[in-house]
Amino acid sequence: MSTQNTNQLAKAFFNAFPMSASGGADESSYYVNRSDDDAHDPVMNIQQAIEWEEQAGSYLFTGLRGVGKTTELNRLITELENAGIAAFYCDASSYLDLTDPNLSQAELVLTALAGLSDAIRKKHGHDILKETIWDRTRQLLGSDVTLKPKLKTSIAGVEAEVEFALQDNPDFKKHLVKFVRDSGEFFLQAQQFALELAKAIRNKTNATKIVLVVDSLERLSAPSGFEQDLFNSLREIFYNDPSRLQLGEISVIYTAPPYLHAVLPNVDSGFSNSFCLPNFKVMDKPREDNICNRNADGICRMVNIVQRRFTDWQLLISQPVLENLIWMSGGNVRRLFSLLRHTASKAALNRVVLPLTEIDAPAVKQALAEESKPLQWLNADDRKWLKICREKSGNLAQHISILEQDLPPIIRLFDHSLILDYQNGSIWYQVSPIVRDHV
C-alpha cells in the first residue's frame, strides 16, 4: 500500500471514532448492547420505570466519563418516542459552567426548564410557548439585570439553539442565588412553569407522558483545592431536598457524577430510582489472588463496536492488536476510541506497513504511552485509592475515613476514568489494565 493510501486509510479510521457523542442523535446503526439481557440493561429498566409509574418521577443516571451514557440516553429517547412518549434532551453544559464547584439547586432547575423550553421550540416552533423560564424568573426577581443572549453554539458538531445561559450571565446568577436563599418562591414558580410546559406539549403531541433527559452533569468538577465546595454543592443538589428537582407532570432523568454514590451512599433515597451504566465487562471479577481474567464476551462486544463504525478495520490492525487495545481500555468506550485514534496517527507518522499485527508494535506502544499521560500526576493519595480499588473492588464508600482528605483523589480518579465500574448483579470497581502496572 502506498504512503498516500496508508494516510487516507489511517485518517478515515481516525475519524470513525469520535471522542464525544451528539445528544439527541440517532446512533442506532452504531449501537452495541453491553448487557446480557433486558433485566440488566439500564435503559430498559429506566423505560420500564417511566412506563409503569403512574406519576412522573425523577431519576438518577450515573456512569463514568466515556462509558457511553449519551449514546445510551439517545437510545432511551428513541425507545420512549416509539412507545408514544414525548421525550426531550437537554445538554446541561450549554447552560452551566460545569467547572464551577458552587452550583446551586435553583440553577439546575432553571437549566432543566430552559433546556426543555429550547428543545420544545426547536421541535415544534417558537409559537408553542408564550414566555420562557428566563422571562418568568426575571419578573420574579424584580431585577433590572440584563440577560445577554447566548450565541448559537455547536455541540459535538451539531448546532444547538440556546436562548440564554447562566455561565454568560453571572449577575443574573448572583441575583437568583440570593433570591432563593431568601424565598422559596422560585421553586413554586418553576413547578407552575413546568405544568404549563407539560400542557403545551400534550396539546401539541397528545402524549400521555413526557420525559426530559438532563445530560452532562457527570462532568461536574472543581479546581484543585475546591473539592469540598463541590461536595457541598452535590449534597445540596441531590441529597438535601431532591424533591425540588421534580418537575410536576414531567419525568426527569438527571445524569450525575460517577463518584456520587461513593461520597453520598444514601443519595438514591430522594429519587424515584437510580441507575448506573457500567463499562463493557472486558474483565471478570478478580480471583482471590487478585488476578483479573479477560472476559471474551465483553471483548467481542467491543470488537463489534469497531466493526460497525469501520468495517475495514482489519486493513489497519489485526484482531489480536484490537483485542489487546480493548483490554487495555478496561471496557471504557472513549478510552478505546482514543487508543484507536492514537494508534492510527502514530502508524501514519511512522510510515509503517499496514496492518499492524504485533501487540507491541511501536505505534501501539506509543498510543498506550499517550493514553497513560494522566498517570504522571498520580500522588500518594491517588495510589492509595487505586490500591484499595484493585484489592477490595467492592463498595468504596466504606473505605472513606476522612472525607476532606479522601474526596480529592476519589474525584480525580473517577474524572479520569482510572477507576472503572462493572456489574455482576451488583456494581464492583477495578482499576483499568492500563493502570494496574502503575499501582
Q: What 3 state SS string does the chain have?
A: CCHHHHHHHHHHHHHCCCCCCCCCCCCCCCCCCCCCCHHHCHHHHHHHHHHHCCCCCEEEEECCCCCCHHHHHHHHHHHHHHCCCEEEEEEHHHCCCCCCCCCCHHHHHHHHHHHHHHHHHHHHCHHHCCCCHHHHHHHHHCCCCCCCCCCCEEECCEEECCCCCHHHCHHHHHHHHHHHHHCCHHHHHHHHHHHHHHHHHHHHHCCCCEEEEEECHHHCCCCCCCHHHHHHHHHHHHHHCHHHHCECCEEEEEEECCCHHHHCCCHHHHCCEEEECCCCCCECCCCCCCCCCECHHHHHHHHHHHHHHCCCHHHCECHHHHHHHHHHHCCCHHHHHHHHHHHHHHHHHHCCCCCECCCCCHHHHHHHHHHCHHHHHCCHHHHHHHHHHHHHCCCHHHHCCCHHHHHHHHHHHHHCCCEEEEEECEEEEEECHHHHCCC
Mean pLDDT (the chain) is 90
Task: Name which of 224, 223, 276 is nearest 64 in CA terms.
Answer: 276
Same domain (yes/no): 295, 366: yes
Task: Say yes or no: 213 and 337 in one domain.
Answer: no
What band does 64 get if pLDDT is binned at 50, 70 and 90? confident
Model confidence at 156: pLDDT above 80:
no
| Structural domain contains residue 271 | yes
Number of domains in the chain: 3
Residue 159 pLDDT greater than 60, yes or no: no
Q: CATH number for the domain including 410?
A: 1.10.10.10
Given 232, 259, 276, the domain boundary residue is 276
pLDDT, mean of residues 63-71: 90
117 and 86 in a common domain: yes
Looking at the structure, tell me whether residues 397 and 307 fall in a common domain: no
Give yes or no: residues 127 and 172 share one domain.
Answer: yes
Domain stops at, among 371, 402, 420 = 371
> pTM of the full predicted structure?
0.91
The cell for 122 is 426547536
- Residue finishing a domain among 352, 371, 390: 371
Is residue 23 included in any domain, yes or no?
no
> Both 132 and 182 in a single domain?
yes
Q: What is the CATH number of the domain that holds 219?
A: 3.40.50
Give the lowest-confidence range in 27-41, 176-190, 225-239, 419-433: 419-433
In a domain, 26, yes or no: no
Same domain assignment for residues 109 and 189: yes
* pLDDT for 85 beyond 50: yes
114 and 169 assigned to the same domain? yes
Any domain includes 342 = yes
Q: Decide if 30 is inside a domain.
A: no
Please say if the pLDDT value at position 415 is more than 80: yes
Span 365-372, average pLDDT: 94
Residue 183 — very low, low, confident or very high, per pLDDT cuts 50/70/90? confident
Residue 24 lies in a domain: no
Nearest Cα residue to 412 out of 437, 435, 428, 395: 435
Task: Give me the mean pLDDT over the 367-388 stretch.
Answer: 89
More confident residue, 46 or 390: 46
Residue 218 has pLDDT above 80, yes or no: yes
Using 50, 70 and 90 to split pLDDT, how confident is the model at 73? Answer: very high
104: containing domain: 38-276
Mean pLDDT of 191-195: 96
Give the orientation angle of helix 105-124 with respect to helix 185-205, to 10 degrees. Answer: 20
Residues 213, 148, single domain; the answer is yes
Radius of gyration of the chain (CA): 23
Least confident of 19-33, 199-213, 400-414: 19-33
* Percentage of the chain modeled with pLDDT above 90: 63
For the residues 61-77, what does the mean pLDDT come to? Answer: 92
> Is 33 within the bounds of a domain?
no
Does some domain include residue 332? Answer: yes
Q: What is the pLDDT of residue 157?
A: 47
Q: Are residues 395 and 345 in the same domain?
A: no
Same domain, 193 and 317: no
Pair (359, 380) in one structural domain: no
